[in-house]
């Protein structure tokens, strides 16, 4: 794996789960890990409830924009973490793939989105521990 690993988070809309995960990874790992996120069918904006839930944690994802998943993004990543995008994610040999089964925060109430956010944070912290040798 590269000196500085690149992690790509992918969900369908790139408006909730993958944005929260990328926000946490950026905030916690800082410049030790390169962070990308994308969606197989990106929405035009990030879920406002997800933005609010992350703001409660002191992490601002409001200015992020959902991006379309590209083959290049997968190719340049060391770790690809999918969240319910199924077969839409291209597979390249030699990469580490994980599928995080998480509820989609779209249309959910604040309490549900907070629960999803907290589960994402726990998984991101575990991922950082595995990727970063301090």
d(CA 107, CA 86): 21
d(CA 25, CA 100): 15
CATH, domain range 6-129: 3.40.50.2300
Q: Which residues, 6+ apart, have CB-to-CB distance to 114 below 8 Å?
A: 53, 56
pTM, rounded to two decimals: 0.93
d(CA 117, CA 99): 16
The Cβ-side half-sphere exposure at 14, using a 13 Å CA radius, reads 22
| 7-66 tens-digit pLDDT | 999 999 999 999 999 999 999 999 999 999 999 999 999 999 999 999 999 999 999 999
Q: Active-site residues: which are they?
A: 11, 85, 89
| 63-76 tens-digit pLDDT | 999 999 999 999 99
Confidence bin at 92 (pLDDT 50/70/90): confident
| Backbone region of residue 84 per phi and psi (left: phi > 0; alpha: psi in -120 to 50; beta: other values) | left
């Amino acid at each position: 794996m590269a000196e500085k690993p690149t992690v790509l988070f992918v969900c369908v809309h790139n408006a909730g789960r993958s944005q929260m995960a990328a926000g946490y990874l950026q905030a916690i790992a800082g410049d030790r890990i390169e962070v990308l996120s994308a969606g197989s069918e990106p929405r035009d904006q990030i879920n406002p409830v997800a933005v609010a839930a992350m703001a409660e944690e002191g992490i601002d994802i409001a200015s992020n924009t959902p991006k379309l998943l590209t083959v290049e993004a997968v190719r340049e990543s060391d770790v690809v973490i999918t969240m319910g995008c199924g077969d839409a994610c291209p597979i390249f040999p030699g990469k580490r793939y994980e599928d995080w089964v998480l509820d989609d925060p779209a249309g959910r109430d604040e309490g549900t989105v907070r629960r999803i956010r907290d589960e994402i944070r726990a998984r991101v912290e575990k991922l950082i521990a595995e990727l970063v040798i301090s």
